[in-house]
Structure 1
Amino acid sequence: MVSVTGAVSARISRFQATLQRKSFAHYRESLAEDLSFEQAVNKYPDRNALYAYMHHYLWNIAPAEIRHHRSYFSQRRRGFGEDAFHAMWWLLLRDYQPQRALEIGVYRGQITSLMGLIAKLCAFPCEVHGISPFSSAADTVSKYRKNIDYLDDAIASNRSFGLPDPNFIKALSTDTIATEHIRSRAWNVIYVDGNHDYEVALADYKVCRDALAHNGLLVMDDSSLYTDYRPAKFSFAGHPGPSRVVHELACSELRFLGGVGHNNVFTIC
């Protein structure tokens, strides 16, 4: 009886989340303004208001290609994340136009291909790199499907958008080959979305922080548990590991630019 009740409750919650997600996407004149990332943060200093702006931006202002990309990865469990993050990445990369971009934890290639797509649409050169085990290897808070060739899948998704293959390294982020690659150049943007356990998230943060170029961007995923962000039913505040790293280190060591849901953006000057 308890399991049946729980299953019904879960279905109701999913239905409510779907309705709320759609309602956030409805056109609202008060949000229909094409701002830069910095302008958006200044206009919407409240995290929840900024999140609503970004979600609305994707479905009402962003280029159709960006919406199509999000729809593609929302289908068949190709990717995680939330709609607002696509708008965040569009604004960040359109504004900063990074020459070298890196993702830690590629999964099936949603963000690496999004980086390449934005560079293509905005006509700026960008080397896109990714470090990932490209397997079902997980952490204490995650589980991944075992019937996928993650490397081939990520490359295929990238090619489906007419993009050159990213520079992928098949390794754990803490492997020597991975840390040496991170340290091998100065990165204009790094997205840390790998293992969520605190020790690994901390190691990823430290090596990536030290490899940022001047004015480079560090985006920490799943890291807003200890902020004033209050997620909608279809959103998520993050995991303890990355959230602790942001709370204890990033907020004091780097300059905070803004937070969109469980993504927090920092820069080093």
Structure 2
Amino acid sequence: MNASTVIPFDQLVAAYENTAAHNDALHARLTAATWADPLLAAHRRHVEENKLGFGDPAFHAMWASLLAAAAKRFGSVRALEIGVFKGQVISLWSLLARELALDVEVSALGPLAGQPAPTLKLLNKIRYRLDRRFREQIDNANFYANEDYPAILAAHFAHHGLNFDAVRVYRGFSNAPDILRDLNKAEFHIVYVDGDHSYDGALADFKTFSAKIPLGGWLVADDAGGDLPGTTFWKGHEAVTRAVQIMPSLGFKNVLNVGHNRIFERVSA
């Protein structure tokens, strides 16, 4: 991959229409762009074969476009992922930075630990009926198996010749007091919100971390496309879709949607 093969982000934004036909066509175009590029295709193939993440192949080409646009606009780019799983996005950012010669400081926020669902089926059924919070956790896929996530992340990076130690890691939940204290004065040009998928959790992340993005920067909301027209892509979770409706009131404009990833640009303070 080189700069000439990256689809210009501003062209995607200028041509964007939030219609079923356009959303389906854009998703297909970026999917094809990912598989046509040896670097993006190899990275995504490794993710799929080793179950290192979710999402769509189209997102790889989307990130290449957005990261290149951020570097063009800001020079040095600070990018944060909230809700790190097994390193699909942060390793891709790091790989793109290396291959495209971009100055990108990659940050990752998450517990880097499992959150397994209770195993007692009968008790789970009763709790699902009576406990709204538990029901939200189940419905929004907030449970993950216990695994050695730091080791998985390190191996994932190493596979691509990258050093996970170069990532600035904030280990914990996004609403933890120590995390919020550490990030009190932080600023990021790109924030990818893929953490707690409950309504309250997603809403808190949108409110808290949108404030850390300067004018011209972007917040990308994962699993937030429930109300988008289109038929060829999965649209995410209802709770996140509902929570993301707050973004315009926070000074952001929805400039592009790729599958269930919604991209908001900060246009006012």
- 3-state secondary structure, aligned to 1:168: strand
Cross-structure match for 1:69:
43
Alpha-carbon spacing, 1:43–1:95, altered in 2? closer, same or farther (3 Å)? same
What is the aligned counterpart of 2:59 among 85, 89, 100? 85
Structure of greater relative contact order (alpha carbons < 8 Å, 6+ residues apart): 2
C-alpha separation between the residues in 1 aligned to 2:109 and 2:7?
31
Query: How far off is 1:250 after superposition?
Result: 1.4
C-alpha separation between the residues in 1 aligned to 2:142 and 2:187?
32
Q: Kindly indicate whether residue 178 of structure 2 is the aligned counterpart of residue 177 of structure 1.
A: yes
- Worse-matched range after superposition: 209-218 or 35-44: 35-44
Cross-structure match for 2:32:
56
Task: Extract unaligned runs of 5+ from structure 2.
Answer: 117-136
Q: Deviation string for 1:183-238 (max 9, x for gaps)? A: 3321010000001000010000111100012311100000010222x242xx3101
Q: What is the percentage of aligned positions where both structures have the same residue?
A: 31
The alignment of Structure 1 onto Structure 2 pairs a total of residues equal to 231
Query: How far off is 1:145 after superposition?
Result: 4.8
What is the aligned counterpart of 1:255 among 225, 228, 253? 253
C-alpha separation between the residues in 2 aligned to 1:196 and 1:224?
13
Alpha-carbon spacing, 1:191–1:256, altered in 2? closer, same or farther (3 Å)? same
Instruction: Kindly report the root-mean-square deviation, in angstroms, between the aligned alpha carbons of the 2 structures.
Output: 1.9
Alpha-carbon spacing, 1:182–1:216, altered in 2? closer, same or farther (3 Å)? farther
- Worse-matched range after superposition: 96-105 or 77-86: 96-105
Cross-structure match for 1:37:
9
The amino acid of 2:149's aligned partner reads: Y
Query: How far off is 1:175 after superposition?
Result: 0.5
- Worse-matched range after superposition: 201-210 or 35-44: 35-44
Alpha-carbon spacing, 1:206–1:180, altered in 2? closer, same or farther (3 Å)? same
Cross-structure match for 2:108:
130
- 3-state secondary structure, aligned to 2:145: coil
Cross-structure match for 1:113:
91
C-alpha separation between the residues in 1 aligned to 2:182 and 2:192?
15
C-alpha separation between the residues in 2 aligned to 1:170 and 1:161?
23
Q: Deviation string for 1:166-191 (max 9, x for gaps)? A: 11122011111222333332101000
> 2:82, 2:192 within 8 Å by CA — same for their partners in 1?
yes
Cross-structure match for 2:218:
217
Cross-structure match for 2:202:
201
Query: How far off is 1:44 after superposition?
Result: 4.8
Task: Extract unaligned runs of 5+ from structure 1.
Answer: 1-32
Q: Deviation string for 1:90-119 (max 9, x for gaps)? A: 111122225211000010010011111111
Alpha-carbon spacing, 1:145–1:254, altered in 2? closer, same or farther (3 Å)? closer
- 3-state secondary structure, aligned to 2:216: strand
Q: Kindly indicate whether residue 229 of structure 2 is the aligned counterpart of residue 240 of structure 1.
A: no
TM-score (norm 2): 0.80
